[in-house]
Structure 1
Amino acid sequence: MKIALITENSQAAKNELIHTALKTVAEPLGHTVFNYGMYSAEDKASLTYVMNGLLAGILLNSKAADFVVTGCGTGMGSMLACNAMPGVFCGLVVDPTDAFLFGQINDGNAISMPYAKGFGWAAELNLQDCYRKLFDGERGLGYPKERAAIMAKNRGILSQVKAVSCRSMLDVLKGIDPDLLKAAIAGEKFAELFFPNCQDEAIAAYLRGLQ
C-alpha cells in the first residue's frame, strides 16, 4: 500500500518525528511511505489544513496514494477538509483504539491526527501504536465480529451517498480557486512523488498545466 503523509503548517516542525514513526511501523509491514511535507516550519510552500484536504483528494482520487495520514493542531480541521473531497473517507484518530475501530468498522482511506492537542511525553510511541493498529493485518473485518456484515453494508451505502453528493475530483480541481490549488501542490517534492505514481492522466495533465 502507498501511504502519503501530509503535514499542516502549524505542525510542520514535527514532520520528521511523524514520518519516522510512520515508516518505523509501515515499512516492515510491506507498505511504502511518501512524505509530501511540510518538512519544516521554514518551507517555502506552506500547507493549511484546507490544502491538506485538497491534496488528500488529489492523491487518493488519482491513485497516487492508497491511504493518507494527515492532521493539524486538533486534527479536526484536516478531517473536515479531507471529508469535503470526493472519494475521501477520513477518520479522526487520537489513540490506538480509535485507529483499530476506524480500520475495522469504517475502513476509510485517510486519518487525521492531533499533533498539538495532547501531544506530549512519548507522543511518538502513541503514533507508532496507532499506525500499528491501523496498518498491521486486514482492515474492514468489523468489530464486534457479529456486526461485520451490517458494517460492510453501511460502508457501501455511505460510498454511494458520497458519490452522488460530490462532483468528480477533476471537476473540483477545475472549479476551485487556482491560487489555492497551486499552493496546495507547491511542495518541493510534489512533482517528484506524485507524477510517477499518479494513475489518472486527466488529473495529472490538469495539474501539469498549472505548474
Structure 2
Amino acid sequence: MKIALINENSQAAKNSIIYTSLVQEAEKKGHTVDNYGMYSNEQEHQLTYVQNGLIASILLTTKAADFVVTGCGTGQGAMLACNSFPNVLCGHIVTPLDAFLFGQVNDGNCVAMPFAQGFGWGAEVNLNYTFEKLFSEPFGGGYPKDRVIPEQRNKKILDSVKAVTHQPLIKILKEIDQDFLKSAINYPEFKDMFFKNSQDQEISNYLKSILD
C-alpha cells in the first residue's frame, strides 16, 4: 500500500516527526510512504487543510496513493475538508484504539489527526503506537469479529451513498431513494422552517412535489 502524508501550514514544523513515525510503522507491514509536505514553516508554498482535502481526493482518485494521513491543529478541520471531496473516507483518530477501530470497522482510506491539541510530551510515542495499530491488520476485518458482516455491509452502503452525494444537491435529491427522502422531510417543523427560509426555488419546488 502506498501511503501519502500531507501536513498543513499551521503544523508544518512537525512534518519530520510525523513522517519518521509513519515510515517506521508502515514499512513494518510492507507499505511505502510519500511525504507531500508541508515540510517546514519556512516553506514558500503554503497548504491549508482545505487544500489538503483536495489533494487527498486527487491522490486517492487517481490511485497515486492508496491511503492518506493528514491533520491540522485539532484534526477536525482536516477531517471535514477531506470528507467534502469525492472518493475520500476520512476518520478522526487520536489514540491507538481510534486507529485500530477505524481501520477494522470503518475501512476508510484517510485519517485526520490532531498535531497541536494534546501534542506534547511523548507525542511521538503516541504517533508510533497509533500508526502501529492503524496498520496492524488488513482494513475491514471487523471488530468484534462476529460483527464483520454487518460492518462490511454498512461500509458498502456508505460508499454507495457517497457516490451519489458528491454531486449537485438537486441531482442528489432526484437520484436518492424517494421514499427515504420523503420520510426525512415529511414533518411539520421542517416544512414550516425550510420553505420559509429557502432561497433555492428549484430545490424548494422539487421537495414540495415529493411531499404533495
> Do these two structures clear the TM 0.5 threshold for a shared fold by scoring above it?
yes
Q: Distance in 2 between matches of 1:31 and 1:159?
A: 24
Match status 1:38 vs 2:35: no
Query: Percent identity of the aligned residues?
Result: 62
Q: Could you list the runs of 4 or more consecutive aligned residues of structure 1 that deviate by over 6 angstroms after TM superposition?
A: none
Q: Which residue of 1 aligns with 2:15?
A: 15
Assess if the C-alpha contact under 8 Å between 2:12 and 2:39 holds in 1: yes
Assess if the C-alpha contact under 8 Å between 2:100 and 2:136 holds in 1: no
Cα offset, 1:59, TM superposition: 0.4
Q: Which residue of 1 aligns with 2:53?
A: 53
Q: Distance in 1 between matches of 2:6 and 2:167?
A: 23
> What is the alpha-carbon root mean square deviation over aligned residues?
1.1
Q: Partner of 1:111: helix, strand, or coil?
A: strand
The aligned amino acid for 1:5 is: L
Alignment of 1:62-81 (within 5 A): 62-81=62-81
Q: Distance in 2 between matches of 1:28 and 1:98?
A: 20
Q: How many residues align?
A: 168
TM-score, scaled relative to structure 1:
0.78
Q: Partner of 1:3: helix, strand, or coil?
A: strand
Q: Which residue of 2 aligns with 1:89?
A: 89
Alignment of 1:54-203 (within 5 A): 54-167=54-167
The aligned amino acid for 1:106 is: N
Q: Partner of 2:64: helix, strand, or coil?
A: coil
For the pair shown, which has the larger CA radius of gyration, 1 or 2?
Answer: 2
The aligned amino acid for 2:88 is: V
The aligned amino acid for 2:165 is: S
Gaps of at least 5 residues in structure 1 are 169-211
Note the alpha carbon deviations across 1:160-207, whole angstroms, 9 max, x for none.
Answer: 000011149xxxxxxxxxxxxxxxxxxxxxxxxxxxxxxxxxxxxxxx
Note the alpha carbon deviations across 1:116-137, whole angstroms, 9 max, x for none.
Answer: 0000111011011111111122
Q: Partner of 1:138: helix, strand, or coil?
A: coil
